[in-house]
Structure 1
Amino acid sequence: MGKNKGARIVITLECSCRNLTNTNKRRKGIFRYTSTKNRKNTPSRIELMKFCPTCNKHDKFKEMK
């Protein structure tokens, strides 16, 4: 039988540079990370500084719906 959903959920983080049209990009497309968070401790959306290979620098990654 399946287990109930716990407090930890899987989230997807997307780079905030996705809407910028920079000609200095290394790759085309949107880069995403997956992570987990505890929904009881952090009910709001989180932002983390991660490395984005598209813009070749550390940038804010925001939680997607």
Structure 2
Amino acid sequence: MTKTYTTVQGDTWDLIAYKLYGAETGAAALLDANPELSSIVVFPAGMELSVPEYTKPTADRLPPWRR
């Protein structure tokens, strides 16, 4: 079963990623799963996005300035 997320007015890719995954880094996974919406920067309310599985990178894989 595919998970979905319905946008609220003012959502952005990184904000949605933070809401769903607890990290803005998940925005790339969301974009990859929803390529037809990649031109949208700020979402209107009511758009449905596919939500893929995502695992936040561990601190040892992040560059030093992001740890």
Larger Rg: 1
Q: Return the structure number with greater helix share.
A: 2
- TM-score bucket (shorter structure): under 0.3
- So what's the TM-score if we normalise by structure 1? 0.24
Q: Return the structure number with greater strand share.
A: 1
